[in-house]
Amino acid sequence: MTRATLLAALAAAAIAACQPGDQPGSEYMPDMARSPRYNAFAPNRATRSGITLQRPVPGTIARGYHPLHYARGDAEGERAGRELTNPFHPTQATLDKGKVLYETYCLVCHGAEGKGDGPIATKIPPPSSYKSDRVLGFLPGRIFHVVTLGSNKMPSYAAQLSPDDRWLIITYVRATLQGLPEAGPGMPDAPPAPAPGATPPADPAAPVPGATPPPATGSGGSR
């Protein structure tokens, strides 16, 4: 092949490679650079269901989601209180975040101090104070249950608040609004809650049965 023929052949190949419009030129061994693909909603002969987009396998848990197997109601709320543990400690950072979230999502009904006197509390049956005996007795997981599933007139906040945001609010409610100490069942590093029906651990301050009661101090009366 003369040099002139070779140049002519290369020029012809170069021109042939530039196809007009939307016609791609021939590709030499594209390997897997461009593999055929299916459209998500197109029928598909390769799958058993005949559709391209497959459903997740039953039981699949999406990343970042925590399945919660509780129904509404007091008994289920109490179970959540026994079984769920707040992953956060009250620190300046968690309390600051919890406060902002509380003021955004809860204050409108529960009030800045959790007394049940938020700006719209009179439009609904006002919620009881967080310092009521009932709510003071809630373990953190039980508040998580209320926020996640709602309670009577209180709607669920699961769609607005991630599980972490719910726990941050609970950390703030308990430490700041209820003034509860961190230690106790349902808090991080706390001893596990006693199983239902189990004998509670002995309270060192409680009088021993049969022992002489300590002398009464002051004028008496319980508060």
Nearby residues of 4 by Cβ (< 8 Å), 6 or more positions away: none
Q: Does the footprint of ligand HEC cover residue 153 (CB under 6 A)? A: yes
Distance CA 78, CA 185 (A): 12
- Of 52, 82, 105, 113, the one binding ligand HEC by CB under 6 A: 105
Q: Does the footprint of ligand HEC cover residue 169 (CB under 6 A)? A: yes
- The SS3 assignment for 43 reads strand
Minimum CB distance to ligand HEC, residue 66 (Å): 17
Identify the burial level of 49 via C-beta atoms within 10 angstroms of its C-beta, where 0-12 means exposed, 13-18 middle and 19 or more buried: exposed
Q: Does the footprint of ligand HEC cover residue 157 (CB under 6 A)? A: yes
Of 51 and 80, the one with the shorter C-beta distance to ligand HEC is 80
CB-based contact 113:176 (threshold 8 Å): no
Of 10 and 108, the one with the shorter C-beta distance to ligand HEC is 108
Q: Does the footprint of ligand HEC cover residue 104 (CB under 6 A)? A: no
Of 70 and 105, the one with the shorter C-beta distance to ligand HEC is 105
Nearby residues of 9 by Cβ (< 8 Å), 6 or more positions away: 1
Minimum CB distance to ligand HEC, residue 184 (Å): 16
Span from 16-24, 45-53, 89-97, 107-115 in contact with ligand HEC (CB under 6 A): 107-115
Span from 58-66, 92-100, 102-110, 190-198 in contact with ligand HEC (CB under 6 A): 102-110
Radius of gyration in angstroms for the set of CA atoms belonging to the chain, rounded to a whole number: 33
Number of residues that bind ligand HEC (CB under 6 A): 21
Distance CA 64, CA 73 (A): 26
Region of 64 on the Ramachandran plot (φ > 0 left; ψ -120 to 50 alpha; else beta)? left
Span from 11-19, 30-38, 59-67, 141-149 in contact with ligand HEC (CB under 6 A): 141-149
Q: Does the footprint of ligand HEC cover residue 143 (CB under 6 A)? A: yes
CB-based contact 129:135 (threshold 8 Å): yes
Of 109 and 180, the one with the shorter C-beta distance to ligand HEC is 109
Going from the C-alpha of 2 to that of each of 6, 8, 9, 10, 101, the distances in angstroms are 6, 10, 11, 13, 81
The residues binding ligand HEC (CB under 6 A) are 105-106, 108-110, 124-125, 127, 134-135, 138, 143, 146-147, 151-154, 157, 169, 173
